[in-house]
Amino acid sequence: MEKSIFEKRVRGLVKKQALRIIYKDIKKYNHYWVQGAMQFIYSKEGLDTSSLRYPVAVYYKREKERLQRKFIRIKQNKNISLIKNNYPYIDVELLAYYISLSDILNYKHLSHYEKLEKIIKIVVHNTQDIKNIDYNFSNFKHIKNLQNEYQNINILFLAEYIHSFKGFQFRKKDEAEILSNIVKIILSIPIAIEKSLKLKDWQVRIKMDMEKQNKIILKEIEKNKKVNQNT
């Protein structure tokens, strides 16, 4: 198997862990899980697994540290901080990180920060552009389900906006899940444990804190909706 394919597999597994951390499914990175997953993949394909441990460890460490540095850069980014000042009740850094991991924005251009803030504005009803929009996705199954779930958010407009620069068609479940996760991060909803009854102690604390923040955000949304209705 080519080295590049091997590296891509390890990097993909590390990215999956990074996303699970965002979703509050796991607390931190775990190289044993990546090692086990690679052992399983290779053994399933009938390949030799005796020499996997060291190269997996090397690529795992490299990718984990790369993603950690990415998150640190986002936290220290002045443009992200400016957006955070406008929306102090939202975890803008985590949202920016998730959107980067999802390959939607990479923040190498000033317009990417404008798009990030516009996404937030749409969800919290802090924009006037929401009127007079032709919706192309109103009959799509995944979008309809999301709109029913978040009736106080204009999911259709958010889908149209992301489609305008990313090209998502939202026929695929994974594209709809990204859209849903963006909304949940903005609303301070713990993605993996939102409806779970069996939680670890650290998940219980996080869920309680996020639920408190969610109430603050929903109040802000209602306030913005009233302001927009009067303008």
Give the distance, in angstroms, between the CA of residue 65 and the centroid of all CA atoms in the same chain: 19
pLDDT of 120 over the 80 cut: yes
One-letter amino acid of 26: I
Place of tokens 């802000």: 220
pTM of this prediction? 0.93
Integer-rounded Cα Rg, in Å, for the chain is: 20
Mean pLDDT of 53-70: 97
Sorting pLDDT into bands at 50, 70 and 90, what band is 231? low
pLDDT of 129 over the 70 cut: no
Structure tokens at 139: 């009959």
Confirm if 153 and 179 have CB atoms less than 8 A apart.
Answer: no
Confirm if 19 and 174 have CB atoms less than 8 A apart.
Answer: no
pLDDT of residue 210: 97
Structure tokens at 72: 């640190």
pLDDT of 37 over the 70 cut: yes
Distance (Å, rounded) from C-alpha 219 to C-alpha 213?
A: 10
pLDDT of 131 over the 60 cut: no
pLDDT of 207 over the 90 cut: yes
